[in-house]
Chains A and B, each alone.
Chain A
Amino acid sequence: MTDQSTGLEMTTISDVDHPQGGLRKPVLSLRGISKHFGAVSALTDVDLDVHAGEVVALVGDNGAGKSTLVKILAGVHQPTSGTIAFDGEHVVLSDPAAALGLGIATVFQDLALCENLDVVANIFLGRELNPVRLDEVSMELRAWTLLSELSARIPSVREPVASLSGGQRQTVAIARSLLTEPKLILLDEPTAALGVAQTAEVLDLVERVRARGLGVIMISHNMEDVRAVADRIVVLRLGRNNGEFEPDASNQDLVTAITGADENSVSRRASRRRAHQSPEQRR
């Protein structure tokens, strides 16, 4: 298989070489994770390490298994086989509450907000202050603090989420993940729905989160965003590991690892463009 051979030829970066990793223990360590949905293998033998204060970008084509991996880490799906170690201890993420309890916060691609509830209720969903007499004032205050940390442009936190735009909802979802002071944050396509300024804010935010010593896993299709913040780029292809890269790796190498071949639709397109442009340049 071509994709297998290209994967092996990639320069794999070991932990020791890595500037952030060093000899520290990873905060999260996956070994041999597989997930089958009936006859379909969404993930096969995936390994992944994330250290504290490190941003790992998870890239891959559609159907590469990125979102499945995130859902396993969030406790939404359970792996068919493989082990998960968090803070050096073997853990089982049987449900979302277990993952949250350990300190794994997730921003899902579909955001998972309750549209009928207001912003404050969504941010504190499942973690309300004072269960038998909700402390709305403290919750609202904390919500404003979180949102202003993200430089969010939310007009009112007492409007139902249904009235917010896509970018505003994204910010609410991210604010929610920060509420619990997690050790690891999973961001599934955090910039997909955002405008230029908000994307920059989210990337700033990711760096701020890293500076606080948290581990971050970020899924993105946008190579520019990935390069801008990632310390390490992990490529998945058809549910398998397909190489790790430094953020300064060439676009060609990344695309090759993602699509599995030197000769792919992206390179063909690029060469067509070159062929098209070169006669004009000669003139």
Chain B
Amino acid sequence: MTGDTQRISTARPLDRSDERVKHTDTLGNMFSAFVDRVRSGDLGSLPVVVGLIVICTAFESLNPVFLAPNNLVNLLFDCSTVGVISLGIVCILMVGEIDLSVGSVSGFSSALIGVLWVGQDWPVAVAIVTALVLGAAIGALYAFLFNRLGMPSFVSTLAGLLAWLGLQLYLLGSSGSINLPYGSPLVNFGQMLVMPPIVSYVLAAAASLVVFVTGYRTAARRRQAGLSASSSGRMVLKALLVTIVLEFIVYYLNLGRGVPWMFGLFVGLCVVMNYALTRTKWGRSMSAVGGNREAARRAGINVRRVYSTAFMLCSTLAAAGGILAAARLASSSQQAGTGDVNLNAIAAAVIGGTSLFGGRGSAYSALLGIIVIQSIASGLTLLDLSSSLRYMITGAVLAIAVIVDSLARRSRLSHGRA
């Protein structure tokens, strides 16, 4: 390091020594930086927030039941099944590929639960593990076709969509559906189980505590290393905001039946996935492969293995979503995983802000996106609209989401943000 930079860096943090860069130290700065980010096409979760506000006001004015606590609790139950599938879609979109067969895989695994658990009298845990392992195997098959035979994922998973649907119909046989026993733990989990209020409050508080503690520790380490760090006041403010928002949501849901355990599982999976994508070497490799595959390869990343993990995670989560759907409906039927499940899962990830073009995305986009989609579905159901209208409206929302993504991407390119 030259003497010149040394002098500057003692005066200012190392990463703030370049006078050409604007920094966000005050609240006003933070706001203008946010506006700049949005204008350059880095939308983050803004479309979702705007979308949710529009949806809520529209449906609430049409039918006041929409925002009633119990309707929201039901909505969260419904979110969890497709949401878990959507989480897998986030994984596969991160590397710039697609899995069109998630609906069929979820239907197949829900059929498997019915056949193995009810039909063959296997213990439910063994049936679940079998379904998950077969889901992973399906992903491994796609990965093999992609890595070794160069088959585009679009085609291989389209073939899979038909093949697994066929397998699902074959498994269910002539009866067409198998009812899962009411009162069993799995069905209870999918339909009834909610957190005791105290547990939900504690969990919400714990979440904001974790946000604060990790933020504080990082800031302390950064300051020690001579890098800029956010001030304690700002972190306290952030933690306080998170606490208020979470506790209010929990409080509101507790006015109804409470926070579903199944939704808790889904949020937990999102948190784990977010950590894996942002704070591990594997997650970094996923973004790198999605951003520039050849660069990742030349950096010594085992690109094939990254693709394999993405495909397998996607199918496994699709299978998990299928199991949850079976629990939610208390049956394994020929309809499970068909219809709009596939598209809802993909649309949720895209609406939440994961790019279809690879390299950009977040686990939380599955959470936010599926809430938007389910809100629309729930609102339209409350209005008692026919499924023809529901399909058309959901289709339009998906189209808008992809248009926003494409426009934002173009804007990012012209603003040098890729």
Q: Chain A contacts of B1 at CB under 8 A?
A: 145, 148-149
The smallest C-beta distance from B124 to any residue of chain A, in angstroms, reads 32
Interface size class, chain A: 35 or more
- When A and B form their complex, which 9 residue pairs have the shortest distance between CB atoms, in order from nearest? A162-B418, A116-B291, A131-B281, A97-B300, A126-B299, A115-B418, A163-B416, A112-B295, A116-B359
Q: Chain B contacts of A149 at CB under 8 A?
A: 1
**Interface 1/0 per residue, A90-125 and B, CB below 8 Å:** 000001110011000010100011111100010001
Chain B, range 274-318, C-beta contacts under 8 Å to A: 279-282, 284-285, 287-288, 290-292, 294-302
Q: How far is the CA of A106 from the CA of B298 in the complex (A)?
A: 9
The smallest C-beta distance from A160 to any residue of chain B, in angstroms, reads 5
Q: Chain B contacts of A50 at CB under 8 A?
A: none
Q: How far is the CA of A269 from the CA of B415 in the complex (A)?
A: 43
A158 at the binding interface (Cβ < 8 Å)? yes
Chain B, range 193-240, C-beta contacts under 8 Å to A: 218, 221-222, 225-227
Q: Which residues of A contact B (CB under 8 A)?
A: 74, 76, 95-97, 100-101, 106, 108, 112-117, 121, 125-128, 131-134, 136-138, 140-141, 144-145, 148-149, 151, 153-158, 160-164, 176
B12 at the binding interface (Cβ < 8 Å)? no
B25 at the binding interface (Cβ < 8 Å)? no
How many B residues face the partner with a CB closer than 8 A? 42
Q: How far is the CA of A11 from the CA of B297 in the complex (A)?
A: 40
The smallest C-beta distance from B300 to any residue of chain A, in angstroms, reads 4
Residue with the highest number of chain B CB atoms closer than 10 Å, among A115, A133, A149: A115
- Selecting from B14-22, B70-78, B143-151, B376-384, the interface stretch reads B14-22
CB distance B298 to A74 under 8 Å? yes
A114/B416 contact (C-beta < 8 A), A134-B279, A140-B15 known: no
CB distance B15 to A148 under 8 Å? no
B39 at the binding interface (Cβ < 8 Å)? no
CB distance B292 to A115 under 8 Å? yes
Chain B, range 34-56, C-beta contacts under 8 Å to A: none
The one of A126, A137, A156 in contact with B300, judged by C-beta atoms closer than 8 angstroms, is A126
Q: Chain B contacts of A134 at CB under 8 A?
A: 279-281, 284
The one of A112, A115, A141 in contact with B298, judged by C-beta atoms closer than 8 angstroms, is A112
The smallest C-beta distance from A43 to any residue of chain B, in angstroms, reads 19
A134 nearest in chain B by CB position: B279
CB distance A114 to B281 under 8 Å? no
CB distance B18 to A155 under 8 Å? yes
User: Beyond the given A112-B294, A132-B280, could you list 19 further A-B residue pairs with CB under 8 A, ordered by the A residue number?
Assistant: A95-B300, A106-B298, A115-B291, A117-B284, A117-B287, A117-B288, A117-B291, A125-B288, A125-B296, A128-B281, A133-B280, A134-B284, A144-B14, A156-B15, A162-B417, A162-B418, A163-B416, A163-B418, A176-B299
